Amino acid sequence: MPETSVIPPGAVTPRDAFRRGVRELLPATPGIFAWGLVTGVAMVKSGLGVFEATALSLIAYAGSAQLAALPLMAAFAPIWLVTLTAVVVNLRFVVYSVITRPHFAHLPARQRAVLGFLVGDIMFARFSALIENEPEYPHRVAYYFGGASANWVIWQISSIVGIFAATTIPTSWGLELAGTLTLVALLVPLCRQRPVLAGALVAAATSIAAHDLPLRLGLLLAIVLGVVTAVAIDRRGVA
């Protein structure tokens, strides 16, 4: 990474930013671990071989898309349908990358691809909180890369533990709820502003009502309606 000027003493270095990213991701470890574990178990329980399940986890790194694709694969559904399902479940990442893109735009394509690929719901929420609260923070890419790498490592370890211990981990514990509660801890502080709270409530209600739409399209619909609501309330507040 080229440094154009000497770093003054006490200034934030890329290494500091990377460490801060890791540090702020670590409290999410129980949730990520529980989720990875449950995903690993689910892959094996739906009939995927240990080797194939490990490969899927390592190559695709796509928690919810993996889970959505599993029943289709078990039924030997056409490949295009499996792929399309994974695309639709992952569509929120397109929204996320439109937001992160200006912050990565100065980097070479390969680095942009790696940073984009490493995105997850938790680190994205952390990163958007950083750019909202500390718009002048330097080395935000290093911050993001630190947290996203930590997330990747925790996820892979837990997923592989789940794959190899699939027969000994009971699915009845409801462990996956820990992942959801981690997201609760990320959502609540965002809702202090009224437009955000209104948008989140509409998104939640839409997502519940549209739960039975195919390909988990309800998730995308919920985000769209939530954002529209938040914008409408925000504009009225200004006027």
Partner 1 sequence: MTGAYVWIAILGITLATVLTRAGVHLAGRRLQVPPNIEALLRFAPACALAAIIAPDLVYFDGALDLSAANPRLLGGLAAVIFFAATRSMIATVSGGMAVFWLVRAWLGL
Rounded CA-CA distance 97/199 in Å is: 20
Least Å distance, CB 3 to partner 1, is: 24
**Binding residues for partner 1 restricted to 160-199, rule: CB under 8 A:** 174, 176-178, 180-191, 195-196, 199
215 binds partner 1 (CB under 8 A): no
28 binds partner 1 (CB under 8 A): yes
37 binds partner 1 (CB under 8 A): no
Least Å distance, CB 7 to partner 1, is: 28
Least Å distance, CB 134 to partner 1, is: 15
165-170 contact pairs (CB < 8 A, 24+): 165/40, 165/41, 166/40, 166/41, 166/43, 166/44, 166/45, 167/44, 169/37, 169/41
Least Å distance, CB 139 to partner 1, is: 18
Looking at 37, 38, 41, 56, which residue binds partner 1 (CB under 8 A)? 56
**Binding residues for partner 1 restricted to 85-104, rule: CB under 8 A:** 86-87, 90-102, 104
Exposure class string for 47-78: b at 16+ Cβ within 10 A, else e = ebeeeebbebbeeebbbbbbbbbbebbeeeee
Q: How far is the CA of 28 from the CAs of 20, 23, 109, 112, in angstroms? A: 14, 10, 29, 24
Rounded CA-CA distance 227/13 in Å is: 35
Rounded CA-CA distance 143/23 in Å is: 10
47 binds partner 1 (CB under 8 A): yes
Name the one range near partner 1 by CB under 8 A: 7-15, 47-55, 136-144, 162-170: 47-55
Least Å distance, CB 8 to partner 1, is: 32
113 binds partner 1 (CB under 8 A): yes
